[in-house]
Structure 1
Amino acid sequence: MPTQSTETTGSRQRLARIATEVLAPWVWVLGLPLVVAWKVTGYHFGETVLWGLIVGVTGSLIPMAVIVRGAKKGKWDSHHVTDRAGRLVPFAVCIGSLGAGFGILIAGGAPHEMIALAAAELVCLVAALAITFGFKFKISMHAMVAAGAGVMLIRVYGPWLAVLFVAVGWVCWSRVELGDHTRAEVTAGTTAGVFLGGGTYLALTMILT
């Protein structure tokens, strides 16, 4: 018969796995551009779908398809690529695909907020690549993307969305609870997300306005 301690541990693990999947980077990167585009296009459905999906597809769906396919073939440990050494190709795919989307936004005359969003995501990816392999430090992409998205949404919709940082805290806890990251790695990811992701977005929206 399971002990209370075993049941508690099992519940914590389930809660952590839910956070890790529901608040995964690809989920944020797919949903965030659509939510931002909805506001910055003046709630125009067609433009929201157009600009939001350019970022979402190139920044999330295409890279995730490659990563999942690679994981199934055994190229890396899972679709979260928890092994630091295995992250080079996924990072390269993410940067290349999103870079193409960034070019499409510029060529198509997208709203400056969408260009700033894609640029901020690229900055985070390049920084994460440099930190992961230059410093051999597995910075948490879950934390980085969630924190950056939180800052961007506060900028677009207002300070009341600071409540999203409850979700940021939840996903950071989940990564440590599952043993995929250390506290230092999720702290570094959160800090980078706020200052690199959110900071780049804030700066570029002011410059491009």
Structure 2
Amino acid sequence: MPALVDLPANSTSQVARVVTEACAPAVFAALMPLIIALHSTAPAVMTVLGWALLAILFCSVVPYAVIWVGVRRGRLTDHHIGVREQRRRPLVYGLLSVLVGLAVLVVLAGAPRPLVAVFGPALIPSLAIVVLVGWSRVRLGDHTIGQVVAGALAGILIAVPTFVLLA
């Protein structure tokens, strides 16, 4: 298959590295609540920003801190957790943090629905980012095409029912 843009291999690796870092889960988990808060039509923007900061704490800061501490202590090789056997503990802690954060936002605090369930179908065009990130991970040799496809399918199978339940 011919490339859309004919870049030297070194350039495509650099583009792939930028995409991988800029679209890392911790980055998205920090940016999305802010974007949603700013997009919200709530009259109390500061209140919505407070909700966003709470979501960022549980969905980005805590999970990334677990990874950062693991790297600093030598238990994890890098912030992308490139060694598959090292992924279980950080993923479990990250998932627990997100679930606690979701419980706080939904049950205890009554956060606005757009912050909890995101944008739903309006977010479909962002699937292009998923494709771009998948390409970057394969290009860098961090994942195979099969792993990228399996991850995308798993994401869809988790995201759609979650949105339906929370929307």
* TM-score range relative to shorter protein: 0.7 to 0.9
Q: Normalising by structure 2, report the TM-score.
A: 0.83
- Show the counterpart of 2:157: 195
Residue deviations 1:149-182 (CA, integer Å, cap 9, x gap): xxx5453xx3xx5442222211100111111111
Listed as ranges, the matches of 1:76-95 within 5 Å are 76-95=76-95
- Show the counterpart of 2:126: 164
Return the offset for 1:93. Answer: 1.7
Q: Distance in 2 between matches of 1:177 and 1:21?
A: 13
Q: Distance in 1 between matches of 2:43 and 2:143?
A: 38
SS in 1 for 2:129: helix
Q: Distance in 1 between matches of 2:65 and 2:145?
A: 29
How many residues are aligned here?
Answer: 160
Contact 2:16/2:139, CA 8 A, preserved across alignment: yes
Amino acid at match of 1:165: L
CA RMSD of aligned residues (A): 2.1
Change (3 A) 1:179 1:43: farther
Contact 2:29/2:60, CA 8 A, preserved across alignment: yes
Are residue 181 (structure 1) and residue 143 (structure 2) matched?
yes
- Show the counterpart of 2:15: 15
Superposition misfits of 4+ residues, deviation over 4 angstroms: none
Among the aligned pairs, what percent are the same residue? 32
Listed as ranges, the matches of 1:34-183 within 5 Å are 34-40=34-40, 42=42, 44-105=44-105, 106-115=107-116, 117=117, 152-153=118-119, 155=121, 158=122, 162-183=124-145
Structure with the larger helix share: 1
Residue ranges of structure 1 left out of the alignment (5+ in a row): 1-6, 118-151
Contact 2:120/2:163, CA 8 A, preserved across alignment: no
